[in-house]
Amino acid sequence: MRRPVRIAVTGAAGAISYNLLFKIAAGEMMGKDQPVILQLIEIPDAMNALRGVAMELEDCAYPLLHTITLHDNVEEGFSNCHYALLVGARPRGPGMERRDLMEVNAEIFSRQGKALNDFANRDVKVLVTGNPANTNALIASRNAPDLSPSQFTCLTRLDHNRAKGMLASQCGVTARDIKNIVIWGNHSPTQYPDLHHATVFGQPAMGQIDTSWYRDEFIPRVQQRGSEIINARGLSSAASAAQAIVDQMNNWCLGTEPGEIVSMGILSDGSYGIQKGIFFSFPVRCNYGRYQIVQGLDVGEFSRQKLTATELELLEEKGVVESLLPEETEESHTN
Ligand code: NAI
């Protein structure tokens, strides 16, 4: 049996985690031969609910679940962790402006970045899900000067999977038959789901769909899918977000299929002309626990306008939290 790996999860009593933790314990994220230690973190008021989640995990008797520890602070909770899934975040309260929300979360993710810097395993891989995910990832990474920014990513795999599911349904195929969708930019309604490189059964997707459907229906629907689900369900996406976290971490740690492109929010290194210093969703391939941006994809005029719109939004978000960020350190772009 392999040595167990330590996986820290914040917001562990929340809705996404209630779907996520059971998948991790069942081996869906790290593989069916990898035992896991779950280090579950919540705010003090949610510790009782967290104990209930831990009881249920125990009651599943997962063969790969080595130990569960519960923490009401990130300094203990991140101790020696190999993976940190930052799911918890402050939701927007009544009367709260977007700027207030960003500032409150900036405090939370600054503390989490510092705690990762001081207490996590030196090779920790971090995935930020809590919104605004891209900017929270920037804040956490800037507060962890002893870790490489390439150890931080944010979740845009849900958008990628949503786009794949919608295209599959439109073409009457399954998601397995679709490859190489790209989500560019922010996990927000400005994101750009790009089908120009996608294939359906190995053939270019754009040759199999109407351009007007792509531009007028598909793109806005992927961009607004979160709201569509909230309107239908009365609650935000939780099971699909959990699946996306599993997929993104699984690809990062265990690799993507040969030749396959997936989307990940990572620190921009200037590829595709995107300004450095923001977390931006790029096309990547993963191998040996590292991701690499796929270079050389053609970006036409339509795509360029979309990339610029989402880039500008991320620069604006960065501007809101800039004064709260510590100095930038030297950057490295693969992990
Ligand atoms: P939820 O409200 O059900 O759970 C969040 C949990 O985080 C709560 O239990 C809360 O007590 C905890 N929490 C808050 N601050 C914390 C802190 N400082 N330390 C530890 N725990 C803390 O929310 P849900 O549905 O689980 O969503 C979590 C986050 O994920 C939200 O910010 C949501 O907007 C975001 N999200 C992001 C997606 C993406 O694709 N990037 C997709 C879906 C949701």
Please state the ipTM of this predicted complex: 0.99
**DSSP state, residue 195:** -
Q: State whether the beta carbon of 46 lies less than 6 angstroms from ligand 1.
A: yes
Residue extent(s) of CATH 3.40.50.720 domains in the chain: 5-154
Q: What is the pLDDT of residue 333?
A: 44
For the stretch 44-79, pLDDT in tens is 999 999 999 999 999 999 999 999 999 999 999 999
158 CA closest ligand 1 atom index = 40
Compute the distance between CA of residue 76 and CA of residue 99 in angstroms, rounded to an integer: 30
pLDDT above 80 (res 330): no
Burial classification of residue 2, based on how many CB atoms lie within 10 Å of its CB (0-12 exposed, 13-18 middle, 19 or more buried): exposed
Instruction: pLDDT band for 329, please (50, 70, 90 cuts).
Output: low
Q: Could you tell me the pLDDT band of residue 334, with boundaries at 50, 70 and 90?
A: very low
324 pLDDT above the threshold of 90:
no
Q: Please write down the long-range contacts of 201-209, taking CB distance under 8 Å and 24 or more positions apart.
A: 201/173, 201/177, 205/167, 205/171, 205/178, 208/171, 209/167, 209/170, 209/171
Q: What is the pLDDT of residue 78?
A: 99
CA dist 180 and 119 (Å) reads 37
pLDDT, one tens digit per residue, over 155-167 is 999 999 999 999 9
Per-residue pLDDT band for 94 (boundaries 50, 70, 90) equals: confident
- For residue 279, pLDDT over 90 is answered with yes
> What does DSSP say about strands 5-10 and 36-41: parallel, antiparallel, or unpaired?
parallel
- Positions marked active-site: 187
Sequence ranges of the chain with CATH classification 3.90.110.10: 157-318
Neighbouring CB atoms inside 10 A of 273's CB total: 11
pLDDT at 231: 93
Per-residue pLDDT, averaged over 14-26, amounts to 98
Q: At what angle do helices 98-119 and 301-321 cross, to 10 degrees?
A: 80
Give the per-residue pLDDT at 254.
97
User: Does residue 305 have a pLDDT over 70?
Assistant: yes
The end-to-end CA distance of the chain, in Å, is 26
Beta bridge partners of 203: 200
Distance CA 194, CA 182 (A): 5
251 in Cβ contact with 286 (< 8 Å): yes
The closest residue, in CA terms, to atom 25 on ligand 1 is 15
DSSP letter at 328? P
Among 3.90.110.10, 1.10.10.10, 3.30.565.10, 3.40.50.10210, name the CATH number for the domain at 157-318: 3.90.110.10
In this prediction, residue 56 carries a pLDDT of: 98
pLDDT in tens, 208-262: 999 999 999 999 999 999 999 999 999 999 999 999 999 999 999 999 999 899 9
Cβ–Cβ < 8 Å for 39, 8: yes
Site to probe by mutation for ligand 1, drawn from 9, 16, 96 as the one with most ligand atoms within 8 Å of Cβ, is: 16
For residue 201, report the distance from its CA to the centre of ligand 1, in Å. Answer: 36
159-177 burial, b at 16+ Cβ within 10 Å, e below that, comes to bbbbbbbbbbebeeeeeee
Q: pLDDT value at position 332?
A: 46
Q: Is the CB of 131 under 6 A from ligand 1?
A: yes
Q: What is the pLDDT of residues 131-179, one digit of tens each?
A: 999 999 999 999 999 999 999 999 999 999 999 999 999 999 999 999 9
Ligand 1 atom at minimal distance to the Cα of residue 156: 40
Superfamily of segment(s) 5-154? NAD(P)-binding Rossmann-like Domain (3.40.50.720)
